[in-house]
Structure 1
Amino acid sequence: MNKNIKKTLIAITVLVVIAIAFLPKILSSTESGAIMPIGRPDMVVPVKAHIVSLETLGNSVYTTGTILANEEVELRSEISGKIIKILFKEGSYVNKGDLLIKINDADLQAQLRRAESKVKLSKEKESRQKQLRDGNLISQEEYDNTLGELHVNEADYDLIKAQIDKTEIRAPFSGIVGLRSVSEGSYVTTNTVMARLQNFNSIKVDFSIPERYSASVKAGDELEFKISGSSNIFKAKVYAIEPKI
């Protein structure tokens, strides 16, 4: 019995020693994650990575606007009357100062001739009165009255001439004249829009932005815009800002 017990103790001791001897390796393998399932190959998981770097974030504002001509005006008459001649072709280019429409000025021309005659007579009278005054044959007051009459007649002449000038509708700037809404023989007033004149040497873009962005936009800033129906990108600069509430 004692011999059998002794052999059993020796066997147990050997097993314990062997187990203790291998325990550090097992623990080390477990901590490092090196224990692999038996019979399974290594698994590789693909990943995507992005290297972090310093970049400037864009501060863009998107909005819609309206394209306008650089200059645009409605052609109207400053006086009422009948159109006697139209001297432009619709859609044509005209230069600044070109005569576009002529309104009847027959009555004004008659008034101008009468005023011109009165000015001529007044000048002759003033010349005679001046000689008489210099010879002390009339008083200074009489001469002043004659001189005043001359100035009144000259003013009347200038007024009628200015009215005649208003019967000529001229291009205030160079550009393209659009479709006319009147014909020769039409009677027009100061409210009649006869045609429109536009200058497209450059264009304007009128747009609005929310109030919270107003402080970040100033004259001279560059911007880009696209026209509806076109993929082209155009560049422009802010030239004026109009605050609105």
Structure 2
Amino acid sequence: MIKRIFIVLSLTLLILGALFGLRFYQIGQAISQMKPPPPAVVAAAAVTSEHWGGALTAVGSLTAVAGVDVSNEAAGKVKALHFESGQSVKKGQLLIELDADTDVAELQGLEAELEFAQVRFERSAKMIEKKYVSRSDYDQHKAMLDQASAAVQAKKTLIAKKSIRAPFSGELGIRQVDLGQYLAEGSGIVRLQALEPVYLDFSLPERYIAQLASQQNVIATVQAYPDKRFVGQITAISPAVERDTRSLKIRAEVPNRDRLLRPGMFAQVQIESGVTQPVLTLPDTAISYNPYGDSVFLIEQTGDGLTVQNRQVVTGQRRQGRVEIVSGLREGDKVVSAGQIKLRNGMQVSIDSQPAPGEREASR
């Protein structure tokens, strides 16, 4: 009995061993026949040296020469509105009137007191010459006259403050108050912007400080009018370099007679410096822009063929689809200009015979 059991177990183990052995053999054969994946196909571009004209580029924003939220100094109820939203106004133009009837009535009483104080003082002035009144009475009447005059002037000033006028000429925004509304002191009434001219504020790295000067021409373009060029002049250059960014703040003044430019607009800025300098450049498609810094995939020749390595670079100006490489690469280095998304360090690549799509369009 035991002998039979032993024979059955032996045959079972032999069959299982044969099956497992066959399976491992098949897997080994499949692995030996598998081919490594082909290298990723990418477009490549070489770092080239160019001579760029002395045009500095930057991005900036437009700011009104003068811009305020018109508000009231004195509290009161809106009695009359004299403007519409979006209206052009002149300096001193009446915008809004607050109810001042009570103040006008009080002013009349104060003016009567002033008139009485004036008469009393004049009488004292005549009588003191004949020494019919004491000097102290004369001084008291003089002080009462000054006090009444000051009270009248203060009330007139308060009444004048209830007529809110434009502090300068410009364009009004959206009205924020309604007729009959009670306004506490300092309530916002309407936004007022002076649009002619406008300021253009931007920054440039400190290395360009020698190429900047007051009254230098700048050319601005905005997305709203891509075919128009707005020419202005630099009016101010910050005397200190920003410690965090190592850049200079610059302000230019741009004429805006047609009111096309509006405060808050984003603008591309170009400055003609008149200096030509050699620069290393790459197509902008080769640069990967990240919050922690710009990078490229450098193509290197190894024993296994062409591989890529991620390389941090410092970029500069951008012109017509090309980017200045300040540091991180040398002239002649080849980098990936299209197909970076699928790459990782050390990965094998093959170079496409065609350039990147952007470079094909530029070469036509």
Scaled by the length of structure 2, the TM-score of the pair is 0.49
Larger Rg: 1
| 2:323 paired residue number | none
- CA separation in 1, counterparts of 2:112 and 2:210? 65
State the alpha-carbon separation in 2 of the partners of residues 155 and 232 from structure 1.
57
Q: List aligned pairs for 1:137-148, cutoff 5 A.
A: 137-148=132-143
Gap runs ≥5 in structure 1 = 1-55
- Does 1:64 find its partner at 2:49? no
Residue in structure 2 matched with residue 176 of structure 1 by the alignment? 171
Larger CA deviation: 139-148 vs 226-235: 226-235
**What is the aligned partner in structure 2 of residue 10 from structure 1?**
none
Identity, % of aligned pairs?
A: 28
Alignment partner of 1:240 is 2:244 = no
* Aligned residue pair count: 190
Secondary structure class of the residue paired with 1:231: strand
Query: Residue 68 of structure 1: CA displacement?
Result: 2.2
Query: Residue 186 of structure 1 is aligned with which of 181, 184, 196?
Result: 181
Q: Is structure 2 residue 188 aligned with structure 1 residue 200?
A: no
CA distance in 2, matches of 1:187, 1:213: 54
Shift of 1:156: 0.9
Matched, 1:83 2:78: yes
Amino acid at match of 1:200: L
TM-superposition CA deviations, 1:53-109 (whole Å, max 9, x none): xxx953332211111233222110011221111111211221211110011112221
* In 1: Cα distance, 2:70 partner to 2:132 partner: 57
Matching residue of 1:39? none
Relative to structure 1, the CA distance from residue 244 to residue 233 in structure 2 (aligned partners, 3 Å threshold; closer, same or farther) is same
Of residues 227, 230, 234, the one that matches 1:231 is 227
Report which stretch shifted further, 203-212 or 180-189: 203-212
1:22-55 deviation line (CA, Å, top 9, x unaligned): xxxxxxxxxxxxxxxxxxxxxxxxxxxxxxxxxx
Provide the residue aligned with 2:97 in structure 1: 102
Amino acid at match of 2:191: R
When the two structures are superposed, what TM-score results if normalisation uses the length of structure 1? 0.72
The code of the aligned residue for 1:148 comes to: A
- Once residues 153 and 62 of structure 2 are traced to their aligned partners in structure 1, the CA distance between those partners, rounded to angstroms, is 42
The residue number in structure 2 matching 1:115 is 110
Tell me which of 212, 216, 219 is aligned to 1:221. 216
Query: Aligned equivalents of 1:87 and 1:195: distance in 2?
Result: 12
Cα distance in 2 for residues equivalent to 1:151 and 1:130: 14
Superposed CA RMSD: 1.8
Alpha-carbon displacement from aligned partner over 1:96-134 (angstroms, at most 9, x marks no partner)? 111100111122212211211110000010011111101
The SS at the match of 1:235 is strand
Greater helix share, 1 or 2? 1
Equivalent position SS for 1:209: strand
Q: CA deviation at 1:215?
A: 4.7
Decide which moves more: 121-130 or 209-218.
209-218
- 1:126 is aligned with what amino acid? F
More strand by proportion, 1 or 2?
2
What letter matches 1:74 in structure 2? D
Between the aligned partners of 2:137 and 2:211, the Cα distance in structure 1 is 72
CA distance in 2, matches of 1:108, 1:128: 30
1:142 counterpart letter in structure 2: D
